[in-house]
A and B are shown apart, each in its own frame.
Chain A
């Protein structure tokens, strides 16, 4: 067991934890922040993405003890009080969410992307979320939500209706 001190979504937590548990398990089971999900446990799917000192990481591959002293942001930190952030709202608006299981990780990857690159191109957005698998949306509406967020969406994705 080791004692760690971490700053999660701006709050300080001091916990005595087993050394082998992952940051993902720590966030979910110790802190009860269930928004972050496990999709594979092997760093392939990105459902567990959080930012650690500003960098997107797969929290299933980080030991909780390694996060001692680190600043962690999870999807819960994105929402101020009860109001969703602009990015979250645009995810809703563009139907960038279906089952929702990849969404938390997706949003955290985009957060890091936008921090370094406020107006990413379509290709850069796709590269930024390459490590986040989504089986439902086909990614298109996620890309559109990010384009809208960065003021680059020329025309909203359209369903053409012919009668």
Chain B
């Protein structure tokens, strides 16, 4: 899809453009699911479990049902329906047992939110608390109680996943490359360590919201804040055994998602409430506390890495074991495990690799997709470990990385050969290093150290990620020409905030040779009016939908040329278009405007030809395969986007206080379709990554109750937490099958920022930290050689502090 166009020949792609969705956003006119009011709409509230694991002895809803204005009450007992993305393991409401703190056990729909609240408060639930499994490594042990004793009877996607009945293993991904024993035997040093990180919330500013209306004849309409309307429809129909034509899913604008809205969540619950309330629409808005405790999070990870390194700085072998804490349900976590399984060594060549990645069920909030899809979590381990390896052989960590990066001719963990079009991670590292003045302190920095008494440290890290998606993922773009020659584009990504709609519009405009202002993209998505797309995830939207956009533009042009050829009495191969006109190349003034043929051309006597112009572009990922279940070998990667971060930090070697002074982020995006959007993704993701690095994470008590379910105790970065200086750089190694050479970069900016911080802190003051987030106290503890209080792993009484 790469036209051999020089960047200066491009008119729309590669240019800084205002986004197509922001005028309504800045003026407060954009509507989100929570802004929708339907006639007769009821309000729902949910009763949640106060226990991590318990048997439900009795639920008494009689008082709630008697309340005036209550229209429906449901409990798990009457809902023998399981839902699941890859493993069908989750009841709509907990049935017989609860498996995590905050799990929904009953729900009410009522005329007002006040009545719904009162009714929920009146529902009595009697529990018998059971011992909870709270650590993924403990869950792996033989003696651990089973979170899902019925795992063997669950349906799951057999081509891809491997749940192990009779255990807590929801999936086991294996990867075997080369000869691991030989690799270790050839190594001069063996470096082994365990790295951990907690569950983390996505924190979209808009919490999950769903509205459903279940009408006679099982005609269902769902309005929801979901990222992936077609996946919601598909999973909904699967679980309720309904035809896809009966279910309509509408997604207006979304107030941030980050993967947390990628699956199916509140939709089935509001649907059953509506059904029970006689078809009145029911609306459920998650409170922020519910967002933290009832809805999914990112999985915690315990990552053990054993690396064999030679004296001259080459990695000879690496054994990797990942215990992903999926929480109570498998959701996306099984696929995070798979994707991390084949990427888990970072952008480095490992000749001999052995990896086991386990998705473990525990009694905690369940893990789903989160920006980076596992790569943020494992990059903490891998990129800290790269520094440790370098220290072991007394080599500069930047140089050690350079020697091991994937280069043309390198073979990835899954057996894919890297070539010169794949992207250039070494270049990304070099640019990051240059941008922070790696390896030395400037005069200004030295003066600053003297002034503040703090020590300055620097680090560079590298990263990679390819879209994690089925190898046959496809999409469609439909272009319709309006009467005035403008074009309306329909496709079914959702505008989660990343700006993809604008980039796709730019690509379509470029190919049509239209000004961007003539292209309108339909932003809300409706499964009844818009064409299919799998999901808005994986940083694949730009590449797949962009390509489909090019094909749709070509289809529309070919149809327009056909009509124009007749009118202009020329062969279509002699036509060209520009300035909203189709003209004969040899006689440019001999032309016809698109407007004249937009909905059909009429001769002066009224005779018509042509008909309304549409263009359809279908695109499906090319040449990808599933990975082999035993060896992990295959070709799963649509496109590798490489990147690097350089980070400068100053640290107080006494108190552990630190300030991030600068972050320089570099990504090989192939082509920056809209540089301002790319920069927005680069900075926004980097700050989200710093949140993960500095302060975010779930804290449980030893009974498995989540202790920080709000912003008071689950802080995310504010404007004051932004580094003093930020630099955004892109390398452009065109992706041959990407639209105008582009590849996705929505997630990458978040990856490995955490390790950049950890490494820079160690560089500054020597504090050696293996768990994140890195709170100021953690730096202090490391400096004083105090045992870390890993209060995110549920070991101690209060807040898990020892």
Residues of chain A having any CB pair with chain B under 8 Å: 20, 28-29, 33-42, 44-45, 47, 74-76, 78-79, 84, 88-89, 91-95, 97-104, 107, 125-127, 129-143, 157-163
Contacts and interface: CB of A to CB of B under 8 A. Distances in A.
24 contacts: A28-B35, A88-B27, A91-B26, A95-B677, A98-B684, A99-B253, A99-B254, A100-B26, A101-B255, A107-B26, A130-B719, A130-B720, A131-B718, A133-B203, A133-B716, A135-B203, A137-B684, A139-B718, A140-B722, A142-B719, A160-B729, A161-B675, A162-B427, A162-B431
A92 B255 contact: no
A102 B205 CA distance: 7
B19 A92 contact: yes
Contacts of A134: 205, 719
B290 to A, nearest CB: 11
B518 to A, nearest CB: 19
B730 A159 contact: yes
Interface string B478-497: 00000000000000000011
A140 B717 CA distance: 12
Given A35-B29, A37-B255, A44 B710 contact: yes
A136 B497 contact: yes
A32 B676 CA distance: 33
Contact of A138 (B7, B204, B688, B727): B688
Nearest to B205: A101
B728 interface: yes
Contacts of B18: 92-93
B288 A40 contact: yes
Contacts of B37: 29
Of the listed residues B18, B257, B682, the one surrounded by the most CB atoms of chain A closer than 10 A to its CB is: B18
B204 A135 contact: yes
Of the listed residues B498, B719, B726, B731, the one surrounded by the most CB atoms of chain A closer than 10 A to its CB is: B719
A41 B117 CA distance: 15
B675 A40 contact: no
B101 interface: no
B787 interface: no
Given A84-B23, A99-B496, A162 B731 contact: yes
Interface in B708-744: 710-712, 716-720, 722, 726-732
Contacts of B710: 40, 42, 44
B499 interface: yes
Given A100-B21, A137-B680, A74 B204 contact: no
Contacts of B680: 95, 98, 136-137, 141
Contacts of B202: 135
A139 B722 CA distance: 8
Nearest to B36: A34
A87 B442 CA distance: 38
A47 B25 CA distance: 13
Given A42-B711, A140-B726, A95 B256 contact: no
Task: Classify chain B: how many residues form its interface, as a range.
Answer: 35 or more
Of the listed residues A76, A135, A142, the one surrounded by the most CB atoms of chain B closer than 10 A to its CB is: A135
B258 interface: yes
A88 B427 CA distance: 38
B392 interface: no
Interface string B16-42: 001101111111111110110100000
Nearest to A127: B720
B672 interface: yes
Contacts of A129: 718-719
A14 to B, nearest CB: 22
B25 A100 contact: yes
Of the listed residues A92, A101, A133, the one surrounded by the most CB atoms of chain B closer than 10 A to its CB is: A101
B357 interface: no
A131 to B, nearest CB: 8
A77 to B, nearest CB: 9
Contact of B22 (A91, A125, A131): A91
Contacts of A136: 205, 256, 497, 680, 684
B522 interface: no
B678 interface: yes
B205 A45 contact: yes
A84 B26 contact: yes
Contact of A101 (B204, B684, B686, B727): B204
Nearest to A79: B27
B13 to A, nearest CB: 13
A138 B258 CA distance: 14
Contacts of B32: 37, 101
B433 interface: no
B712 A42 contact: yes
A39 B32 CA distance: 13
B206 interface: yes
Contacts of A161: 672, 675, 729-730, 732
Contacts of B498: 98
Contacts of A97: 19, 22, 25-26
Of the listed residues B7, B207, B684, the one surrounded by the most CB atoms of chain A closer than 10 A to its CB is: B684
7 A-B pairs closest in CB distance: A35-B28, A99-B497, A101-B255, A100-B25, A138-B687, A44-B711, A75-B28
B781 interface: no
Contacts of B473: none
A91 to B, nearest CB: 5
Contacts of A100: 21-22, 24-26, 30, 253, 255, 497
B683 interface: yes
Interface in B200-244: 202-207
B26 A47 contact: no
A135 B727 CA distance: 19
Given A47-B205, A135-B256, A138-B722, A39 B288 contact: yes
B413 to A, nearest CB: 28
Contact of B686 (A28, A88, A138, A160): A138
Interface string B520-563: 00000000000000000000000000000000000000000000
A136 B22 CA distance: 14
B679 interface: yes
Contacts of A163: 7, 731-732
Given A98-B680, A141-B683, A103 B711 contact: no
A109 B31 CA distance: 21
A143 B719 CA distance: 9
A36 B720 CA distance: 23
A36 B202 CA distance: 21
Contact of A34 (B31, B717, B728): B31
Given A44-B712, A99-B255, A139-B722, A159 B682 contact: yes
B125 to A, nearest CB: 24
Contacts of A45: 205, 288, 711
B287 interface: yes
Contacts of A34: 28, 31, 35
A113 B22 CA distance: 23
Contact of B718 (A29, A130, A141): A130
A98 B35 CA distance: 18
A35 B23 CA distance: 12
A82 B746 CA distance: 32
Nearest to B497: A99
B718 A133 contact: yes
A126 B205 contact: no
Nearest to B202: A135
Contacts of B23: 84, 92
Contacts of B35: 28, 34
B39 to A, nearest CB: 15
A82 to B, nearest CB: 9
B404 to A, nearest CB: 22
B773 to A, nearest CB: 16
A163 B24 CA distance: 35
A157 B720 contact: no
Contacts of A101: 32, 204-206, 255-256
A94 B25 CA distance: 14
B288 A159 contact: no
Nearest to A18: B114
Nearest to B711: A44
